[in-house]
Amino acid sequence: MCRKVDVTDRVAIEAAVRDGEERFGPVDGLVNNAGSMLLGRIADQPVEEWERMIDLNVKGVLYATRAVLPGMIARGGGTIVNVSSVAGRKTFPHHVAYVGTKFAVHAMSENLREEVASSGVRVVTIAPGAVETELLSHTSDERIKSDYEAWKKSAGGALDPRAVAEAVAYAYRQPPNVTIREIVLASTGQEA
């Protein structure tokens, strides 16, 4: 089943999850991967860009998690994978709002893991460095985009998205009594 759902719409997420469960059974795994990276200098970045990232990167994770978590707790198992970023562990120039959202994902994931561990629900954080996706294209500041592209090139390029998908699959495939709490991955040349 494929369904286009706005993760900032809690009601739509819940409806999509219920539709999927009616067709395929209870949710066993959730990968919270929707997000936005809008880089900018906090003094002049449009506030709407901060709000967009908070809605997608923070509220979207919470809404999707809430849609599946009660069932997982009731069944005594399941896996929630939250895709964060290296920017959820350290800061970068022109990333203030983005870093804030990704630090939030890390904190929420760790706190949720502690909250549900005794229920048999696993919570995993995947923290990739630069990945070759369309994320940077949404940044409105052309200079920041060109500087970021130059930085990626100096690091030997960014990760292929398949490497991130393989990290998610690795964490998910562990036996139910094993939680890979966090995977941090980046291209070998990425120093930061």
Is 148 part of the annotated catalytic residue set? Answer: no
pLDDT single digits (tens) 67-113? 999 999 999 999 999 999 999 999 999 999 999 999 999 999 999 99
Q: Which residues of 106-135 are buried (b: 16+ CB within 10 A; e: fewer)?
A: bebbeebbeebeeeebbbbbbbbbbbeeeb
Q: Which of 98, 148, 170, 172 is catalytic?
A: 98
Q: What is the pLDDT of residues 30-79, one digit of tens each?
A: 999 999 999 999 999 999 999 999 999 999 999 999 999 999 999 999 99
N- to C-terminal Cα separation, the chain: 39
Length of the chain as a residue count: 192
> Domain spans of the chain?
27-185
Burial class of residue 24 in the structure, from the number of CB atoms within 10 Å of its CB (0-12 exposed, 13-18 middle, 19+ buried): exposed
> Rounded to an integer, what distance in angstroms lies between the CA atom of residue 26 and that of residue 21?
5
pTM summary value: 0.95
- CATH number of 27-185, picked from 3.90.870.10, 3.90.1640.30, 3.30.70.1150, 3.40.50.720: 3.40.50.720
